[in-house]
Structure 1
């Protein structure tokens, strides 16, 4: 017990208690918040939920950064990414299995996540880091692997059903083939990323090498040695990360009805609620990525952002297709022409940005401009 207190601060426990306590209060207050809720009550509830999410987000970031320092990249970033993405996949699946029709939930969720991660978060990270350091060097081999995965996975998920699907949805035989290809490709990517090609996802700046666990590996410590020597700390921080992240995702999805109600009164497009929820769900990764950029750890930014989207598409699409086949639900994945154009432009811009050895603020500004174009499409 004494050894655990070295890794658990009082603030960690407070953040967990605040998150789960807010969930309990929200559950009790649910009858009062059913649409149409009184406007003052609606605003107060949204402000409190966002405040609680921010408290929990900083708790997740604390544990993620501690794990990253201990494990190094790509392992540290992968822990944070998979924890949040897995929770998101479970919740999307739960919505599909619940009452009502949710034929486009996977498409709309992944589209919002794609634009937020690849343009808003990456854009801010490159802009702020580029202004501070003028230019930042990344590991082009690892970045190329991420972008190659994204091109294939996004084409399979959103482009192919528009071209060969039935009304924007795959037939059963097509869905089986897409699930198989996606799962095998994503599984092989993780296997190589955590094994023989782990070095392709580490910082290349020599001044940052001392902060990674793989630098220690060069002195004789492998990732297995690190896990064996620090298993108590790693398990403790992993449990804290997950128990602090779960309230973020649950509160974000419980907030959907409140946002729909409030935005409906303002005349805002319904899709805006999905964008705001996606932004909040991935808030811990976004904060971590911005802080990494300000610390000149641009490869960690790439591991967090591109890795999150690879995992999101690689896990969400097979999950919803399998649920659709098992329950007989129609799963519409084909995107609109405007969104397909934005996805293609985003991938092309990402390839152009990270083909350079050094990334800078101008490239970040270009990504932010593309996110602005996405908001124009939202309100069109």
Structure 2
């Protein structure tokens, strides 16, 4: 057993390093099909390693800090990826930030939440979570999404679904302020609202089932987590020309590129949230899902606002009518899911149906 544990630890330490090495060797180059496949394998390895190291860090610092570490780390590097793709000025780059952020919202609020509810209710007929914490997170996500992605469609200061500079600055300040307020609420003022609970509403002791990792191991896992996430997002960027070519060759809308990139970048959170749901820690899964959606907006919009100072060309943020309907339906369904503090297999199926509708309409608008 000790030998298996050491081999697993060695593999999770090696995978991020190999991904970073592959990133350095392939960045900015056109890859043949064989190397594309190799990069895809290393990308998958980096995702699995990121999940492992995120769980080590989360077990050391406890909830909700563990979920926050993974969500913020992924989002910060995701923002760098979005900015690099927007700055490249390729076809469809003016709407890439909108497409990727909206895809992240749909993936987290419907895909991840739906999968976790389904996984949890297949083990137990009814799963429980803290309605106060999840409700506050959902309200913040809905407000950020409306301010940043819906209002640009209706403002009149600039032609098209885009903000004027002062409007973009206002949205950026509001996004950053709301995200900061949420983090304060989650980690300091009402931390107990974001801890896992039993079906009877009692808080679960996260640290009671296993010894906490040492400080040295936690620091090593934190460093390897960051390396793995850089590898995940960087290799997703390396694969993006192949993705764009495949999307164009299949005659699909360019917005599909943003969907695929968001799916790749959010893989670590998806796997981590599923593992938590299988351990009856649905609150941890919701912390990851809603926290990632919030961070995607709350950190991307301010970064885009700053980058717009030197970026040339239009910046499309406003959603079209179809996506606004999907967003509104997601907020309504998520509210009905969160308010009772308990969920069944039906709620998981509804969220997965919404996620399937988003994917289908992305391919066939």
TM-score by length of 2: 0.90
In structure 1, how many angstroms separate the alpha carbons of the residues matched to 2:36 and 2:255?
Answer: 18
Q: Say whether the 8 Å CA contact 1:172–1:325 is kept in structure 2.
A: no
In structure 2, how many angstroms separate the alpha carbons of the residues matched to 1:99 and 1:370?
Answer: 32
In structure 1, how many angstroms separate the alpha carbons of the residues matched to 2:27 and 2:85?
Answer: 17
Deviates more, 1:193-202 or 1:307-316: 193-202
Correspondence list, 1:312-331, <5 A: 312-327=296-311, 329-331=313-315
Note if 1:64 corresponds to 2:59.
no
In the alignment, which of 307, 327, 339 is matched to residue 291 of structure 2?
307
Note if 1:88 corresponds to 2:78.
yes
Q: CA deviation at 1:328?
A: 5.2
Q: What per-residue deviation string (whole Å, max 9, x for no partner) do you get for residues 177-232 of structure 1?
A: 2222222121121122221111110012278723248x99xxxxxxxxx9xx9543
Stretches (4+) displaced over 6 A: none
In the alignment, which of 177, 186, 193 is matched to residue 200 of structure 1?
193
Structure 2 unaligned blocks of 5 or more: 1-5
Residue 12 of structure 2: aligned partner: 12
Note if 1:136 corresponds to 2:136.
no
Correspondence list, 1:101-112, <5 A: 102-112=93-103
In structure 2, how many angstroms separate the alpha carbons of the residues matched to 1:328 and 1:9?
Answer: 46
TM-score by length of 1: 0.86
Correspondence list, 1:30-69, <5 A: 30-31=29-30, 33=31, 41-42=32-33, 44-69=34-59
In the alignment, which of 331, 344, 350 is matched to residue 366 of structure 1?
350
In the alignment, which of 184, 188, 205 is matched to residue 191 of structure 1?
184
Q: What per-residue deviation string (whole Å, max 9, x for no partner) do you get for residues 305-353 of structure 1?
A: 0000101100001111221144454221110100111111111111111
Across the aligned residues of Structure 1 and Structure 2, the Cα RMSD in angstroms comes to: 2.5
In structure 1, how many angstroms separate the alpha carbons of the residues matched to 2:314 and 2:272?
Answer: 36
In structure 2, how many angstroms separate the alpha carbons of the residues matched to 1:274 and 1:91?
Answer: 11
Structure 1 unaligned blocks of 5 or more: 1-5, 34-40, 217-225
In structure 1, how many angstroms separate the alpha carbons of the residues matched to 2:270 and 2:351?
Answer: 15
Residue 180 of structure 1: aligned partner: 173
Deviates more, 1:45-54 or 1:239-248: 45-54
Q: Compared with structure 1, are the counterparts of its residues 21 and 176 closer, same or farther at alpha carbon in structure 2 (3 Å cutoff)?
A: closer
SS of alignment partner, residue 103 of structure 1 = helix
SS of alignment partner, residue 288 of structure 1 = helix
In structure 2, how many angstroms separate the alpha carbons of the residues matched to 1:9 and 1:367?
Answer: 35
Q: Compared with structure 1, are the counterparts of its residues 129 and 352 closer, same or farther at alpha carbon in structure 2 (3 Å cutoff)?
A: same
Residue 221 of structure 1: aligned partner: none
